[in-house]
Structure formats: C-alpha cells, structure tokens
C-alpha cells in the first residue's frame, strides 16, 4: 500500500483502508465517551485537550449511552474485538462522525494519537480523510531509556519527553537513576546518596535529584500517557556516587572522590560485606514502594572490578531482594552470567551477546543493540554531540533492523520488545537531547509497533520526510539528516 494511504503515520498501522467522505472538525464538534466506561473517559479528556489547543474550538465532552449523532468523535468499547488486546484500536473516520473502538485506556489513547497525526500539525482546515484503521502493536515493550545520572533532567523536561514518546506510541520510560557520576533519587534511609551523590555530574552535566514525591509525579504523568516508568539502580558496578556518599560501603572504609569523567568499570560494591545487602534492600524497598509499575532494573553492566564469583553471589542476593518486593527484575545482558531466575528480563545491548534461550534460562529479551538503538551515538563523523564507540548511527541504521534477526538464535516469542537508550555523558540539555533522539527515535518506535512485513526503509523515509513539519511544529530541535528529503511547511 502506498505511503500516501498511510497518511505518513508513524508508527505505520497494521491496516489502513480508504473510505468515502472526510470529517471536518468544527466549533460544533463534540467528543463523546461511552457512559460508564472508565477506560475511555481519560482518553477522551486527553483528546479534548489536544484538539482544543490545536484548533481553538471548545470540543465539549459528553458521556453517551449509545452512538452519538453526526459531528461527534465517539470512544466506545462496542465493536472492539478481543484481538485488539489492551493497546490496539479501530479508528473509523466517516464523513459525519469519527469512532474509536478499543478495549482499554491504552487502545483509546493510541487511537487518539493516530487521529492527531491525521490532522495538519499546526494550520487548518481541520479535516480528516475518510478511512478505517485497525491497529495493534507487534511488541509489548516499546521503550526509551534516559540516563539522568550522568546529567540530570528536571520533572518538567521529563514530562515533555513523555508527551513526545507517547505520541509515537512508546509505552516504557526507563530512568537510569544512579551511576559513577551521580545519584538522582532520594532514599530516606540513606539520605546522603541524593544529598551528596546528587551534587555531582559528568563534566559539563547538570546535577540534581528527584525527591520521592517528584518521582511519583513523573510515574503518575507517565501512566496518564499509557507509559510504565521503569527505575534503574545500576549495581554492583557504576556505583562510585553511592560509594563516595558512604565510606562504610567501601572495602577500605574510605570513600572515593566524586567522579566526573567518562570511564566505566572501575567501581564495585563489596559483595562480601553484609552492609552491601542492607543498602540494596533499603534502596530497592523504598524504590519499589514509589514505583507503580511491576519492574525494577538493577543494571549489572560493566562490573569489571567485580570478580565473577562476587558477581554471581551479588546477583543471587539482589534477585531475592527484588522478588521480596514483588517486582520483576531487569538487568543488562551481563546478568546472563549471574544465574538468572525465570521471569526476570534481560536487556541486550552488546553486539556480541549470545542471548539464546538456554543462555537466558528462557528469560524474555528487551533489545537495545548498541549499534542500532544507542542514540548517544553520533549520526556521522561530523555530529558535534555524542560518542562513536559502538557505531555511527544514521537515521537508516536506527531503522533498518529487525529485532528477530539482530542476534542469532532469537525467535519472535523470545523478544518482549525494543528500547532506545540515551546515555548523557555528552548530552546535557533538552535541545541536545532532542537532536539525538529525533528523528531516530521514530524509527525505533515503528520497529516496536509495526509489523515487520511491509516495513521498509525506502517507504519509511518518505513518511518521515512528511513528518518533518510535525516535528518542527512541536518545536523539536531534530537533526535534519541528509538521508531524508525533508518537506518544509
Ligand atoms: N555503556 C555503559 C553506559 C554508558 C554507555 C555510553 C551500558 C549498559 C556505554 N553501559 O551501555 O553506562 O556509559 O554509550
């Protein structure tokens, strides 16, 4: 089907069929949610807010018992087949009415995002071509990781990022909250982690930390955008900030200096000290208590200063602690060697990882291949930001890969989904963050959502070119990659 039929939607929906007529949004248009349907109401309110800001029309909200008359946008569970699951939707645009059919909030929310992309990004006339869309995601996990440890980002900045991520149907925000250069979340039982560890950052980066109330504010905002927040405390490596805050955590009893460089692998918790597990238990208990989602990410990467025996001992104890808090543990792919328990998740990042079923004891995989999904990598040699140790990742490199074939011996059901990662050793503000994430994040969002068959670079790059004015209208400082024939206006 030609891209014109897909109306430059990103992620590309499963099925789009044209139909006669077109729907005009006017001052009389109203948004109707099926009465008593708790799943639809918040999506209807969200849509009303978006359309009021876009069009300036009043967009009144109504709860209705049955299909409303002409001139309405109707959100209903009627006619939503179970195959849509929680995140799928049907969007029907007829000449006189629009209907979004879904089973859960997320489905309604994503139907609204598609409707929004069918409208012009900034100027009227506010008309939508007649079409029928049936859509649902390929993968359950469609994520973005933001490293707030090397350089801090504020609650407001993260809320704005959540809006941009939700608009392309990403549903996980993974916050990398601790590392050698900084500790970004208040832990009441170990206050110096944030009070002392929050003062530092990578060279040129921003310091700071979230209070627990601010973290919960981010989590709630994420939920309102159908996003699950995934907190990460990286251990046993990447722990210089914690070790510098508490001398007693160190083997020597002496705290190292705060670290502002870009090296990795030089720090480790002491796996043989009992205080280490009191620390881990307190941190994960407090973090679990303020995390509505089911996941705790414990890092586990680049523990080059931890012996394999210590690493295994540490990972066994940490898995016990995560389970005791009722959370599913996630770790970077080094945890494959730490004696992984069934039900825990492996985030695969290194090129040479062998993540086969056996190796992972059947754990499901979140794929973040550093040579396709690490968006702190430069686009090309001339990119003034970022690093290049993994690869140069142009827009096509971030798009033209398939999660099922990027690592050997992995099948579709092994893959929970994909996640882009933005490490911030060199990314210290929103403008730079946007430059590195956009437009490459759109391609990863499509990989996570759209069917593999029918997805191809030559067709995608045309849709992305047409998406340029939408990114510009949103005020996003995106990279005008020469690989794309960007449309203006
Ligand atoms: N690898 C480190 C990150 C970060 C990254 C920068 C992982 C899992 C290099 N670990 O990626 O902390 O320094 O590109």
Residue 105: per-residue pLDDT: 98
C-alpha to C-alpha distance for 452 and 83, rounded to whole angstroms: 18
Helix H or strand E encompassing 430? helix 430-437
Measure 312 CA to ligand 1 centroid, in angstroms.
21
Q: Which of the listed residues 179, 264, 300 should we mutate to test ligand 1's pocket, taking the one with most ligand atoms within 8 A of CB?
A: 264
Measure 406 CA to ligand 1 centroid, in angstroms.
19
265 lines ligand 1 (CB under 6 A): no
232 lines ligand 1 (CB under 6 A): no
Measure 202 CA to ligand 1 centroid, in angstroms.
13
Measure 18 CA to ligand 1 centroid, in angstroms.
45
pTM, rounded to two decimals:
0.98
User: Hey, whose CA ends up nearest to atom 6 of ligand 1?
Assistant: 423
Locate 284 and state its tokens. Answer: 């994960």
349 lines ligand 1 (CB under 6 A): yes
Question: pLDDT tens, 119-147?
Answer: 999 999 999 999 999 999 999 999 999 99
Find out if CATH 3.20.20.80 is the number for domain 141-452: yes
376 lines ligand 1 (CB under 6 A): yes
Measure 79 CA to ligand 1 centroid, in angstroms.
46
Helix H or strand E encompassing 421? strand 415-422
Nearest atom in ligand 1 to 332's CA: 8
436 lines ligand 1 (CB under 6 A): no
Nearest atom in ligand 1 to 179's CA: 12
C-alpha to C-alpha distance for 281 and 15, rounded to whole angstroms: 47
Residue 5: per-residue pLDDT: 55
Question: pLDDT tens, 316-344?
Answer: 999 999 999 999 999 999 999 998 888 99
Residues of the chain falling short of pLDDT 50: 1-3
SS3 89: strand
C-alpha to C-alpha distance for 34 and 77, rounded to whole angstroms: 8
3-state secondary structure 185-196: ECCCCCCHHHHC
Buried b (16+ CB within 10 A) or exposed e, 340-379: bbeebbbbbbbeebebeeebbeebbbbbbbbbbbbbbbbb
Which residue carries 């993968």 as its tokens?
A: 139
Q: Which CATH topology does 6-135 take?
A: Chitobiase; domain 2 (3.30.379)
Residue 4: per-residue pLDDT: 57
C-alpha to C-alpha distance for 359 and 107, rounded to whole angstroms: 35
C-alpha to C-alpha distance for 362 and 348, rounded to whole angstroms: 14
The beta strands (E) that lie in 65-210 are given as 72-76, 89-93, 97-102, 127-135, 141-147, 172-176
301 lines ligand 1 (CB under 6 A): yes
| Residues marked as catalytic | 302
Residue 360: per-residue pLDDT: 76
DSSP state of 178: B
Among residues 53, 123, 37, 128, the alpha carbon closest in space to that of 91 is found at 128
Measure 423 CA to ligand 1 centroid, in angstroms.
7
379 lines ligand 1 (CB under 6 A): no
Residues 6+ apart with CB under 8 A from 2: none
Residue 206: per-residue pLDDT: 98
Q: Which of the listed residues 302, 333, 390 should we mutate to test ligand 1's pocket, taking the one with most ligand atoms within 8 A of CB?
A: 302
Nearest atom in ligand 1 to 377's CA: 14
CB 374 within 8 A of CB 398: no
Helix H or strand E encompassing 276? helix 274-289
Nearest atom in ligand 1 to 376's CA: 14
DSSP state of 70: S
157 lines ligand 1 (CB under 6 A): no
Measure 142 CA to ligand 1 centroid, in angstroms.
20
Report the percent of the chain where pLDDT is more than 70.
98
Q: Which of the listed residues 370, 372, 426, 436 should we mutate to test ligand 1's pocket, taking the one with most ligand atoms within 8 A of CB?
A: 370
Cis peptide bond upstream of 110, omega within 30: no
Locate 415 and state its tokens. Answer: 């893959």
DSSP state of 149: T
Which residue carries 């029907």 as its tokens?
A: 92
The domain segmentation of the chain, as residue ranges, is: 6-135, 141-452
CA 278 to chain centre: 31
Which residue carries 């929680």 as its tokens?
A: 86
Residue 2: per-residue pLDDT: 46
DSSP state of 322: H
């Amino acid at each position: 089907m030609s891209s014109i039929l897909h109306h430059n939607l990103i992620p590309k929906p499963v099925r789009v069929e044209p139909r006669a007529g077109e729907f005009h949004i006017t001052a009389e248009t109203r948004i109707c949610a099926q009465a008593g349907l708790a799943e639809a109401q918040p999506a209807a309110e969200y849509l009303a807010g978006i359309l009021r800001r876009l069009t300036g029309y009043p967009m009144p909200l109504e709860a209705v018992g049955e299909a409303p008359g002409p001139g309405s946008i109707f959100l209903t569970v009627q006619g939503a087949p179970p195959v849509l699951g929680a995140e799928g939707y049907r969007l029907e645009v007829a000449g006189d009415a629009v209907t979004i059919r879904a089973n859960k909030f997320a489905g309604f929310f994503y139907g609204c995002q598609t409707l929004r992309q069918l409208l012009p990004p900034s100027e009227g006339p506010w008309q939508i071509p007649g079409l029928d869309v049936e859509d649902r995601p390929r993968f359950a996990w469609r994520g973005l990781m933001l490293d707030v440890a090397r350089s801090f980002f504020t609650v407001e900045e993260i809320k704005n990022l959540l809006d941009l991520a939700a608009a392309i149907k990403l549903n996980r925000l993974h916050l990398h909250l601790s590392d050698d250069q900084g500790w970004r979340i208040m832990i009441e039982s170990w206050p110096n982690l944030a009070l002392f560890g929050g003062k530092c950052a990578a060279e040129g980066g921003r310091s700071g930390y979230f209070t627990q109330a601010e973290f919960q504010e981010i989590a709630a905002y994420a939920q309102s955008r159908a996003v699950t927040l995934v907190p990460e405390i990286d251990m046993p490596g990447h722990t210089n900030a914690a070790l510098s805050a508490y001398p007693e955590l160190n083997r020597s009893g002496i705290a190292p200096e705060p670290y502002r460089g870009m090296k990795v692998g030089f720090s480790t918790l002491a796996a043989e000290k009992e205080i280490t597990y009191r620390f881990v238990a307190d941190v994960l208990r407090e973090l679990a208590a303020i995390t509505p989602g089911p996941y705790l990410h414990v890092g586990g990467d680049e523990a080059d200063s931890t012996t394999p025996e210590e690493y295994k001992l540490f990972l066994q104890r940490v898995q016990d602690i995560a389970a005791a808090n009722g959370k599913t543990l996630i770790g970077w792919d080094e945890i494959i060697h730490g004696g992984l328990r069934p039900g825990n998740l492996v985030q695969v990042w290194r090129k040479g990882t062998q993540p086969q079923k056996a190796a992972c004891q059947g754990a499901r995989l979140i794929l973040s291949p550093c040579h396709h999904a690490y968006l702190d990598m430069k686009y090309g040699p001339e990119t003034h930001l970022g690093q290049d140790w993994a690869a140069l990742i142009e827009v096509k490199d971030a798009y033209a890969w398939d999660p099922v074939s990027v690592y050997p011996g992995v099948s579709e059901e092994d893959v929970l989904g994909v996640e882009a990662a933005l490490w911030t050793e060199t990314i210290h503000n929103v403008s730079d963050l946007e430059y590195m994430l956009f437009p490459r994040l759109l391609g990863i969002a499509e990989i996570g959502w759209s069917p593999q068959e029918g997805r191809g670079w030559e067709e995608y790059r045309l849709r992305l070119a047409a998406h340029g004015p939408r990114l510009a209208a949103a005020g996003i400082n995106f990279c005008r990659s020469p690989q794309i024939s960007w449309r203006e206006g």
